[in-house]
């Protein structure tokens, strides 16, 4: 089949990879130049441990407290927007234990599938993208966070996700090269990490060599529909006909889907990162500073710090106060590590596509018979990319699916 993929981030690229391997003719359409998207500068974590969705008990209260702190890790910019109001109401309705139980099982299955795909990619791809299985440390400094994380670890273990509660001394033993100042931590040995920019940049070249057409700076403007099918995708670079279309446009998916009369609640969650070069005494294991919501990932001789979740709409401005919050968190957990404020041009940002219930949209649309949606992965896009690409290919081939994807139904808010 001729397959058109709208979006060239990790979800679109992964889908293209498996579709190409299945023998389809694939074209990726992206509005950017694919040199610095959301899949480039993120924390690079492959996290089967992340089974609790963003919409969970306590997040509404935390979000309200954080909104009044300019350096806090979470912020929703107040604005008159019907879409934001609807998104916020759905988020509120889903922030409960029943939803967490449903979501956790679904997220675990797709996370484990995706990790398996990463393991295979590390063997099959003819380039190195820094895949390492060293686990993840969730580090905490307060008694309240300790209580939450111990409960989270117990919950993960009941679902078959290994989690070990560690004392401060045990944490330090896992990080012999740097001083770590924590009350304790939870270690998830099943997690992994990569260098995302190495994967994405080299995967683009690999796909192009295998005759995947990648159209950059190409904006989808409209669609021609007939008998519940997309017949033509209209862009600023011309019109294209496909047998099947994959919507993997990240934070823009909601806007692009609305042209097809598909309701896909979505908000862009902006995150920042910066990377320190030539670190002599580096961390060995990726970590999350829980109280500050800062992610830390060693990538060779570099160390990347990332964080914040700004629900501000499609907005590419950089709020240096949020970046300051990341910088100020570092010496609290790594006392010997002195990190200066990066220059604005050294700060990377990306717009994560956030659904209101914290689950991605993966599946065929009921309204358009030749459309598969694969978007809304929030902070988990890189982690779930290959697994989603595999599922997209199975959906297009109308094969038996590797996992149950009913929780990811793209029509669930229609």
Structural domains of the chain ordered from first start: 2-408 (3.50.50.60)
- pLDDT of 308: 85
Task: Write out the DSSP string of 349-361.
Answer: EEEEEE-TTS--E
The model's confidence at residue 68, banded by pLDDT at 50, 70 and 90, is low
The model's confidence at residue 313, banded by pLDDT at 50, 70 and 90, is confident
Query: How would you label 259-271 residue by residue, b for 16+ Cβ within 10 Å and e otherwise?
Result: ebebebbbbbbbb
Find, among 247, 198, 318, 193, the residue nearest to 29 by Cα: 247
- pLDDT of 180: 98
Strand 287-289 to 294-299 pairing: antiparallel
Kindly give the interhelix angle for 381-397 and 97-124, rounded to the nearest 10 degrees.
80
Please determine, for residue 84, whether its predicted confidence score (pLDDT) is greater than 90: no
pTM score: 0.95
Handedness of CA 299, 300, 305, 310 (dihedral sign): negative
Among 56-60, 214-218, 285-289, which stretch is predicted with the lowest mean pLDDT? 56-60
User: Residue 280 contacts by C-beta under 8 Å, 6 or more apart in sequence?
Assistant: none
On the CB side of 29, CA atoms within 13 Å amount to: 24
CA 284 to chain centre: 22
């Amino acid at each position: 089949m001729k397959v058109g993929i709208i979006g060239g981030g990790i979800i679109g690229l992964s889908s293209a990879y498996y579709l190409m391997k299945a023998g389809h003719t694939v074209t990726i359409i992206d509005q950017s130049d694919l040199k610095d998207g959301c899949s480039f500068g993120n924390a690079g974590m492959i996290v089967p441990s992340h089974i609790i969705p963003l919409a969970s008990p306590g997040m509404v209260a935390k979000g309200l407290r954080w909104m009044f702190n300019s350096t806090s890790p979470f912020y929703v910019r107040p604005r008159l927007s019907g879409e934001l109001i609807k998104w916020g109401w759905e988020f509120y309705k889903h922030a409960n234990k029943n939803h967490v139980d449903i979501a956790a099982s679904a997220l675990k299955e797709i996370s484990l599938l995706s990790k398996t795909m990463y393991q295979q990619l590390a063997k099959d791809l003819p380039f190195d993208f820094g895949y390492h299985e060293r686990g993840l440390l969730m580090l905490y400094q307060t008694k309240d966070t300790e209580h939450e994380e111990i409960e989270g670890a117990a919950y993960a273990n009941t679902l078959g996700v290994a989690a070990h509660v560690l004392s401060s001394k045990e944490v330090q033993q896992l990080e012999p090269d740097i001083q770590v100042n924590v009350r304790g931590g939870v270690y998830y040995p099943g997690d992994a990490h990569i260098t995302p920019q190495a994967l994405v940049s080299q995967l683009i070249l690999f796909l192009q060599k295998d005759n995947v057409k990648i159209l950059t700076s190409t904006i989808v403007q409209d669609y021609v529909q007939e008998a519940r099918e997309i017949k033509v995708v209209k862009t600023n670079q011309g019109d294209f006909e496909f047998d099947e279309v994959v919507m993997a446009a990240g934070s823009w998916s909601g806007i692009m889907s609305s042209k097809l009369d598909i309701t896909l609640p979505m908000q862009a969650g902006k995150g920042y990162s910066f990377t320190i070069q030539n670190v002599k005494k580096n961390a060995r294991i990726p970590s999350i500073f829980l109280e500050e919501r800062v992610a830390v990932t060693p990538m060779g001789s570099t160390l990347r710090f990332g964080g914040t979740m700004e629900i501000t709409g499609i907005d590419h401005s950089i709020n240096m106060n949020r970046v300051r919050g990341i910088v100020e968190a570092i010496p609290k957990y790594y006392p010997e590590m002195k990190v200066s404020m990066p220059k604005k041009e050294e700060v990377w940002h990306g717009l994560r596509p956030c659904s209101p219930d914290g689950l991605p949209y993966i599946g065929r649309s009921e309204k358009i018979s030749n459309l598969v949606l694969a978007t809304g992965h929030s902070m988990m896009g890189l982690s779930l990319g290959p697994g989603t690409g595999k599922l997209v290919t199975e959906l297009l081939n109308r094969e038996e699916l590797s996992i149950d994807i009913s929780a990811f139904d793209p029509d669930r808010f229609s």
